[in-house]
Each structure stands twice: as C-alpha cells, then as structure tokens.
Amino acid sequence: MTGKVLVTGGSGYIAGFLIRQLVDAGWTVHTTVRKLSREARVRQTLGLADDRLAFFAADLENDAGWADAMAGCSHVAHVASPFPLGVPSHPDELIVPAREGALRALRFAKEAGVRRFVLTSSMAAIAYGHGKGVRMNTEADWTNINDPGVMPYIRSKTIAERAARDWVAAHGGDMEFASVNPAAVFGPLLSDDISTSIEVVKQLLEGKVPMCPDVGFGIIDVRDVADLHVRALTAADIRDERYVCSGPFLKMIDVANILCANLGERARKVPTRRMPDWLLKAMALLRPELKQLVAELGNVRGGDSSHAMTTLGWTMRPPEEALLATAHSLIERGMVKV
C-alpha cells in the first residue's frame, strides 16, 4: 500500500530516516519544517530531490500551514516534538508544545480526512515513576507523572500521548490511531545536527565523561524505529495500538565497553571505570542538570518489544550495531576528535 503521507518534523533524526524509507517504498511524502528556508538543507541531507517530497512551513504552536500540509494525505506520522539537551527553566516549555502540537496535528488530520495517524511517543511515556529497581515494561504501562523524580521531558511525552489518545477516543471517529514508543535512538547520522541520545556517544568518545555513572537506557537503531513506523502506517486493522520500540537496556559502562572493544585506539578517551554513586550526587549539587541522572542511579527500565515483533513482523538490529554506527558517523564526519 502506498499513497500520500505527512511526516511532521522533517528535519529531525527519526523523521529523516522515515521519509527516506517511505519514498523508497513509493509513497508521496509531505513534511513540515518550522521555516521553509530549511528545505534546501534538509533535501540535501536526505538526498531526495524528486517531486515525491514536498515541504510545508508549520509550527507545533500555531495553526498556520497545517491544513496545506495535510491536504490530500491519507496517513500521518506525527514525529515532531521538542527534545532539548538541557533542562528547561519551566516544564511547560516542553509540555505545551508537545501536547498542543499533537492535538493540533490530530485536529487538522481529522478535517483532512486522514485515515490513519501514527504518533511518535517514547519509552519516556511508559517506563518512569514506578520506583527504584529493575522493571520490564510493556505497552500496558504508563509513566506516573506525579512522581517527583519524573523530569519535564518525560512528563511532556506522557502528557502528549495521553492527550492524543483521549482526543481520538472523543473525536477521532473512524480515524485509526497508533503510537510508536522508542527508547534511546542511535545509528548512522544523516547530518551534523545530532539528537540528544547521540550526544551520549559523542561525550564518551571525547572523554568528557570521566567515569560511567550507574545509569542506562534501552538501545534502538534509528533505521528500525523508522521501519516500525512504516509498519504501523501500513499494517491492516490497526486501532488504538501502542508499540514498545526498544532493544536491550544497557548501562553507560556497557556502552563504553562496546566502544572500547570495537574502536581500538579511536576509543582511547572512553572511560572504563564506574562512577561511585556518591560522586554523581556531589556533582549534582553544583550542576542541577545532573539531578535527573541521580534519580536514575541503579534503575533498569527495560522495554518488551515482543508485541511489535509478533503482530507486525518487525525485527531490530543488535545494540552494538546501532552504537557503532553512531560512533563511526561521528568520527567520519569529524564531529569528535579521537
């Protein structure tokens, strides 16, 4: 099945790979960027100059441009969402655009007669606020946003997905809805504009992390995230589905060990020692952005992706492949000095 599909946030990491996979499969793709002045750069990044990719200016917090972007589309992948490197000065800086952007996209999709809407959510909406310890999460789990340790980005993804699902239940009618909930996304780079997760590998390679704190994340390759979106867009009989999109949960020291074992001299700056918990807590007194790491000390927040694998025939690359693809891209692009 092919047709016309809107992918929001066309300059983003996941969206770039998704657009390329959809065009390769024969779809005509509309995509949004905040300013059309970015079109030439994004086209060059994607390597797509043909007429099956069209750009529209649209912002998560403004109605302008959304009707034009949706026109003629039968499917939507709403990928755009704020994801900063630092902690915002107020949670609403993330919550409002994430929630209102999702609701805005849904409203215009309904008005345009879109048949299927796939939301890029996150494991952030599933795996947090459940207390300390080891936990394997499924699609049935939701982050507890009332837990004081839940940070603004995690709250924003949870609130946005819940709001989207509530809106679809009340107003969606026949429109089919699904969410894809990725863990930390790694893999090859299309440009020098890197995502927050890629920054982890970059800082390890540069030796900016002196020791590895006892924190971790599920690992997933961006190419597999895009593939799961395509399957969610095209599979038959999908309604109110939710797909965990996560490979194994690795601690920071595991990531460092993979880099060291495979990159030789190029990984000479990668830390090989674990950071004592007390040291991270002391550092967080001087650097408030580290408090979110302190809250995660010792936790394992795994994700069970068997539902997507069983129902959609989806598979994923091993975490080593995703992490090393990131490292090689960073080195080849000269983005790290090793």
Cβ–Cβ < 8 Å for 212, 273: yes
Cβ–Cβ < 8 Å for 151, 158: no
161 Cβ contact partners less than 8 Å away, ≥ 6 residues apart: 102, 119, 121, 125, 179, 181
CA distance 294 to 292: 5
Largest CA distance in the chain: 58
CA distance 34 to 108: 17
Cβ–Cβ < 8 Å for 157, 146: no
Q: Which residues are catalytic?
A: 157
Question: Among residues 95, 17, 20, which one has the least CA distance to residue 60?
Answer: 95
Cβ–Cβ < 8 Å for 205, 100: no
Cβ–Cβ < 8 Å for 156, 122: no
Cβ–Cβ < 8 Å for 94, 82: yes
Bridge partner list, 27: none
Helix (H, G, I), strand (E, B) or coil at 238: coil
- Residue 274 carries which DSSP code? B
Pairing of strands 216-221, 249-251: antiparallel
Report phi then psi at 53, rounded to 5.
Answer: -130, 120
CA distance 246 to 181: 8
CA distance 103 to 164: 6
Q: Say how many C-beta atoms besides its own lie within 10 A of residue 313's C-beta.
A: 9
